[in-house]
Amino acid sequence: MSVPDRERLARVALNRLGEPGDVKMTALVAELGAVRLHDLLLHERDPHGLRTDVAARLASVDPVRELERAARVGLRFVVPGDDEWPESLGDLAAASSIQDRGGVPVGLWVKGPLRLDRLVDAVAVVGSRAATQYGADVARDIGAVVARSGRVVVSGAAFGIDVAAHRGAISGGAATDGPSVAILACGADRVYPQAHREVIDHIAATGAVVSEAAPGCSPQRVRFLARNRLIAALSRGTVVVEAARRSGALNTANWAGRLQRSLMGVPGPVTSAGSAGVHELIRAGAMTLVTGGGDVLEMVGAAGEHLVEEHREPPTARDRLTVRQRQVLDAVPVGQPAHPDSIARVAGLGLLEVRAGLTRLLDSGLVEVADGGWRLTAEAHG
C-alpha cells in the first residue's frame, strides 16, 4: 500500500465525522485533500461552515483505534491510492449530486476477501423491496447468469429483488471467486435487514460487504440515498428488475444515468404496478429493455465479447422447401380446400408443377387433402 498512514487516518476521522455522501465533505476533500482538511477542521476555526462543533467532534475521534477495532471484526478501510481502490468511483466527482448526496467517498469500509478493483466489470441488479414472485425469479436468473460469466453481481441486500439477485449470483457463481458484493446503508460490521444475516454473512465470507458509513452506524434514509450512488458507480451497468413509480430503485437508476453507466430494465406485465417505473423509463428512452442475463451481458460486455446469440429458431418445415414449393404453399388456402387448378392460378404456376409441389408439401405435413381439395394444415398456418 502506497497510501501514507497520515492520509488514511485523516480519512478515517473525516469519514466518522461526516455522513455518507455529504456533498460539503466530499467537495472539501476533493478541493483541499483529506490531510489538509482534517488539520484545518481540527486546529483552526471551521473555515467553510461545515459544522459548528466540528473541532470538538473531530478531536474525539481516534482513527488509529477505529482502524484497530475495525480490523478485529474483519473490516478494512479502503481509500484512494490503495491498489484495490476502484477507479470507477472517480466518476462521482463530476456527476451532479442528488438531494445533497454525492461526490467521491472519503473511503469505503470493506469486509470480505474480494478486492474492490475486481468490480471493474460488475453488474448491479436492483429493484423493489415489494417484489413479485416473477420479479424475484427474473432477478435470481440474471444474478446467476452474470455470476456464471465471471462478473460480480452488486446489490443492496434489501428484501425482494436485491436479495434474489445476490442469491442467484451465489448459486450461479459457485465455481468463481466472490460472485457477489453487498453495499449496505449501515456500517459494514452490521447486518440490515436482520432477516438477511445468513446471505450477508455468506457474501462477507466469499465476496465483499461494503459501506461508506462508519462501523456501528445504523441504516438511515440519507445513508440509503448515498449508498445507491455507490451501487451505480461501482458497476458497469445497472439492471432494474421491478420498480414501482416511486421506488428507491429508481434513485439508483438515476445515478447510473448520471454516471453514464448502462441502464437496463426488465419489463413485466403492464398490469403490474411493480413494473410501472421500469416501463416508464424504457418508454422515455432512458433505459434499455433486457429480457435476461444474456441481454445484460451483451449490454455491459466489451464490444463483441458477450454478443447475445441470435435467437435462431430451429428451421421449420417451410424453411426446408424450395422457392417453387413455397410459391405453391403460399397459394394453398387455409380454410376451404381448393383444387389444384385454382392453386395454380393463384401461384402463377403450371398445373404439373403445382401437383408435384402439393405432393411434396403433403409429405412435409404442411398441406392436407379435404373434401377433394387441398388446404394448409394447422402447423403450416402457424
> Quick check: 375 and 337 in contact, CB under 8 A?
yes
Among 36, 65, 197, 245, indicate the residue that binds a copy of itself (CB under 8 A): 245
Closest approach of a copy of itself to the CB of residue 60, in Å: 12
For residue 97, what is its C-alpha cell? 449530486
Closest approach of a copy of itself to the CB of residue 52, in Å: 9
Q: Is 270 in the site for a copy of itself (CB under 8 A)?
A: yes
For residue 269, what is its C-alpha cell? 406485465
Q: In what order do the strands lie in the sheet with 153-155?
A: 75-78, 108-111, 208-211, 180-183, 153-155, 123-126, 237-240, 262-265, 288-289
Task: For the segment 180-239, give every residue that binds a copy of itself (CB under 8 A).
Answer: 186, 192-194, 218-222, 225
Residue 159 pairs in a beta bridge with: none
Q: Is 276 in the site for a copy of itself (CB under 8 A)?
A: yes
Site string for a copy of itself, 283-322 (x = CB under 8 A): x----xxxxx--x---------------x-x---------
Among 74, 113, 257, 267, indicate the residue that binds a copy of itself (CB under 8 A): 267
Distance CA 70, CA 195 (A): 23
Q: Which residues contact 195 (CB under 8 A, 6 or more apart)?
A: 159
3-state SS, 239-280, equals: EECCCCCCCCHHHHHHHHHHCCCEEEECCCCCCCHHHHHHHH
Site string for a copy of itself, 20-59 (x = CB under 8 A): -------------------------------x--------
Distance CA 242, CA 190 (A): 27
Q: Is 329 in the site for a copy of itself (CB under 8 A)?
A: yes
Q: Which residues bind a copy of itself (CB under 8 A)?
A: 19, 51, 134, 137-138, 186, 192-194, 218-222, 225, 245-246, 266-271, 275-276, 279-280, 282-283, 288-292, 295, 311, 313, 329-336, 338, 346, 348, 376, 382
